[in-house]
Amino acid sequence: MKQILPLRSLGKSDLMITSIGLGCWQFSKQQNMAGKFWPKMEDDLIQQMVKISLEGGINWFDTAEIYGNGASEKALAASLTAIGKKPGEIIVATKWWPMFRFASNILKTIDKRIEALAPYPIDLYQVHQPWGFSNEKAEMEAMARLVKEHKIRYVGVSNFSALQMRSAWEALQKLGIHLVSNQVRYNLLNRKIESNGIMQTAKELGITIIAYSPLAQGLVTGKFHDNPDLLKNIGMRKYSSAFKPAGLEKSRPLVKMVQELATKYGVTSSQVALNWLITNHGETVVAIPGATKESHTKENAGAMTFSLTAEDLSLLDKKSALFK
């Protein structure tokens, strides 16, 4: 039976989403360099991940053009179709890849994105990075045109700084359109957006923060602290300072607190970490954890079914303050 969960608006839009969506990078099927970050998932497993997410109450999915050159988008659409979801029953977000491209490419490639996700409309279209050949103004003007042509519903950005986000917001405002989201890296072990102006600007402008890597690639759960042997098989992550001995020791006190709270609430460490993210700043932050196992998918949805107390939110806030 499907879980019914509270919804919140995505920025200043009428898109009502659950506080946790499913990130779909792992559906890339190793089709390009970005796709090779994950092992190849078969269609039946992808469909199961989507099905469990829906049953848990999750109502939106985030994918991108760069995830396997459309492989993730196609896998998501195929799974939703097989499950019997009709267009309009769920919310789909995807992203345009700007690297080595001009803003005009947004208009040239939109039909490919629509085709890859068919029959599901693009509810949120995001500029994936701020590193294109065009500025925010040109990119937002192209996005606004897609809104007016009814090819997408709302506009978002990803990895934009506070200044870039404000610039994009201003460009859209002049055209009578809201910038509804900025998708950025944010978790208990990386709180930089609280000190570099992104969080403050998002709250001021009514923009939702979509937190990717909300579990710090599994680090915040403590599984690597408890079992260092797991570090041998983590791919590119092993080169990150956070996964080296000094990094693990730095995060150990916070991880221990997360584990203790998980025991207190009868939930998992990942659920504590996710619940802090989607609660600590009111309704400003939503999260998009990925999933490669059924247990991950169930945990993602379950993170929305309990509430940390104000006291415990504050404890986590203080313990993780050194990661701002």
Q: Each residue of 107-142: pLDDT tens digit?
A: 999 999 999 999 999 999 999 999 999 999 999 999
For residue 249, report the phi and psi dihedrals to the nearest 5 degrees: -70, -35
Tokens describing residue 34: 């970005």
For residue 193, report the phi and psi dihedrals to the nearest 5 degrees: -70, -15
CA separation for the pair 265, 256 (Å, rounded): 14
Q: For residue range 156-170, list pLDDT tens digits in order.
A: 999 999 999 999 999
- Whole-prediction pTM: 0.95
Which amino acids are annotated catalytic? 67
Q: Which residues pair with 208 in a beta bridge?
A: 181
CA atoms within 13 A on the CB side of 161: 5
**Nearby residues of 206 by Cβ (< 8 Å), 6 or more positions away:** 11, 12, 178
Pairing type for strands 179-185 and 285-287 reads: unpaired
CA separation for the pair 266, 272 (Å, rounded): 10
Q: Which of 28, 92, 21, 36 is nearest to 65 (CA)?
A: 28
Structural domains present in the chain = 8-215+268-310 (3.20.20.100)
For residue 17, report the phi and psi dihedrals to the nearest 5 degrees: -120, 155
Q: Which of 160, 151, 197 is nearest to 181 (CA)?
A: 160
For residue 289, report the phi and psi dihedrals to the nearest 5 degrees: -65, 150
**Nearby residues of 50 by Cβ (< 8 Å), 6 or more positions away:** 22, 61, 76, 79, 80, 83
CB atoms within 10 A of CB 263: 11
State residue 230's pLDDT score. Answer: 76
> What kind and span of H or E run contains 258?
helix 245-265
pLDDT tens track, the chain, 324 positions: 566 678 999 999 999 999 999 999 888 766 655 554 555 777 889 899 999 999 999 999 999 999 988 999 999 999 999 999 999 999 999 999 999 999 999 999 999 999 999 999 999 999 999 999 999 999 999 999 999 999 999 999 999 999 999 999 999 999 999 999 999 999 999 999 999 999 999 999 999 999 999 999 889 998 888 877 777 776 666 667 888 888 888 999 999 999 999 999 999 999 999 999 999 999 999 999 988 888 999 999 999 999 999 999 999 999 999 999
CB 61, CB 306: distance < 8 Å: no
Q: Which amino acid is at 1?
A: M
Q: How far is CA 259 from CA 52, 180, 217, 246, 270, in A?
A: 25, 34, 16, 20, 9
Pairing type for strands 122-127 and 91-96 reads: parallel
Q: What is the SS3 string spanning 14-32?
A: CCEECCECEECHHHCCCCC
